[in-house]
Amino acid sequence: MVLLGFLTVTVLSVVFLRDLFAIVMLFGIYSFLAAALFVTLDAVDVAFTEAAVGAGISTFLLLATLALTARREKTLPDRPLLPLLVIGIVAAALVYGTLDMPHFSDPHAPAHSRTAPYYIESTATEIGVPNIVTAVLASYRGYDTLGELIVIFTAGIGVIALIGYRKRDRDT
């Protein structure tokens, strides 16, 4: 609960701040808090990823982006009502969509009553790997992980295509 409170405070200060550098730093803190939260939920793999990717690399990449752009956020001259309306409708639709989902940590949810027990029972005999997360990620859900890898690859290509390397004339 304490961690959740800290998370909320961080998010609120991100929303109200205008200094982008401070916001990037707060995002790093947010990722660390989220990682700590995942550890308390016994999801060490997720926590590890959050700490490495969220607090590490993405903070750095955001800082690099800041170095290319401005440090202060532009303030809009007027109050945009239409975007607010659109966001409100979309948020309402999303919340409505979650109403059909099983409750948080409901032991009778399909994910907890079918797939999760199957993975827990059969990983030891079928895969023989102690870390079930790795077994699910790389073997049972191999297609998904392949998709994720291709997403990262495509993102890299996209960044290179957009920003590009400078021409090699200055190379030593």
Partner 1 sequence: MYTPIQPFNLVLRIAAKMLIPLILMFALYVQFHGEYGPGGGFQAGVIFAAAFILYALVFGMAAARAVATETVLRVLAALGVLLYCGVGLAAVFAGGNFLDYNVLARDGVSGQHLGIMLVEFGIGITVASVMIMIFYAFAERGVTR
Contacts with partner 1, residue ranges (CB under 8 A): 44-45, 47-49, 52-53, 56-57, 60-61, 64-65, 67-68, 125-131, 133-135, 137-139, 142-143, 145-146, 148-150, 152-153, 155-156, 159-160, 163-166, 170-172
Nearest CB to partner 1, comparing residues 26 and 47: 47
Nearest CB to partner 1, comparing residues 94 and 162: 162
Nearest CB to partner 1, comparing residues 110 and 142: 142
Contacts 24+ apart (CB under 8 A), 37-40: 37/3, 37/4, 37/7, 40/3
Task: Give me the least distance between CB of 39 and partner 1, in Å please.
Answer: 10
**Residue 72: beta bridge partners?**
19
- For 7, half-sphere exposure in the C-beta direction (CA atoms, 13 angstrom radius) is 12
Cα 45 to Cα 38: distance, rounded to the nearest angstrom: 9
- For 120, half-sphere exposure in the C-beta direction (CA atoms, 13 angstrom radius) is 7
Task: Give me the least distance between CB of 73 and partner 1, in Å please.
Answer: 20
Nearest CB to partner 1, comparing residues 115 and 154: 154
Task: Give me the least distance between CB of 37 and partner 1, in Å please.
Answer: 15
Task: Give me the least distance between CB of 166 and partner 1, in Å please.
Answer: 5
From residue 157, how far is each of 54, 69, 154, 164 by CA, in Å?
A: 21, 21, 5, 9
Task: Give me the least distance between CB of 145 and partner 1, in Å please.
Answer: 7
Cα 64 to Cα 94: distance, rounded to the nearest angstrom: 33
